Amino acid sequence: MFKKSPKKLIYFAMTALLLISCREKKGETSKEQGEVTTSTGKPVQVDPQADNKMVLKRLQPGIAFQLVVTDDEVKLEDLFIGRLPAPDSKKEATGELEISAVGAGKTIATTKVVDDPLMVQEDVGLVRLKERRVFGILYTPEKADSLVIRRAEKQEQKFDLKDYYMKFCREYPKDSLCR
């Protein structure tokens, strides 16, 4: 019967073993055999701040900003000061706009962002945008007084950060940026 098909023999043997191991012994009920129990070790006390500390170690103080750029000027549309996720890489930023945080008369941090005025529009072709929105993050290890934006052949623009820091420090007075 199994000479020509060893797979059938293996299947038959596995099925027989399964049936033998599952059959009820005399005097035992299926309820007793089907009971499943689990056990765990002693509960370990968890530090409620452990996750918060781990996450906070991965955040750096910084400024997230949104700019509206035209050919004539740059406007600060929105700005957020806080703890931001650390960058994945240390590669140097490139772009047409140079943004610097200045505090106590010295440059604290600088980054560059791309301002691309050209866009491909379907059924039209290449279009020059009159107004563009640019987003960026500037990591600042200390409090800054102003944000300075420079671009080629244009006058630099300064934006005061005092009100933004006051708002941030009202919410997080113990943060290192507020001391």
Q: How far apart are CA 136 and CA 90, in angstroms?
A: 15
Q: How confident is the model at residue 99 (pLDDT cuts 50, 70, 90)?
A: very high
Pick the CATH number of 61-178 from 2.60.40, 1.10.8, 1.20.272, 2.30.30: 2.60.40
Place of tokens 């509206």: 68
Say if CB 133 and CB 115 are below 8 A apart.
Answer: no
Residue 169 is predicted with a pLDDT of 93
Is residue 107 scored above 80 in pLDDT?
Answer: yes
Q: How confident is the model at residue 161 (pLDDT cuts 50, 70, 90)?
A: very high
Span 13-50, pLDDT tens digits: 777 666 666 665 555 555 556 677 777 778 777 776 77
Mean pLDDT of 58-66: 91
Q: What percent of the chain has pLDDT over 90?
A: 38
DSSP 8-state secondary structure symbol assigned to residue 86: P
Is residue 2 scored above 70 in pLDDT?
Answer: no
141 or 22, which is more confident? Answer: 141
Q: How far apart are CA 111 and CA 95, in angstroms?
A: 9
Is residue 151 scored above 70 in pLDDT?
Answer: yes
Q: How far apart are CA 65 and CA 114, in angstroms?
A: 13
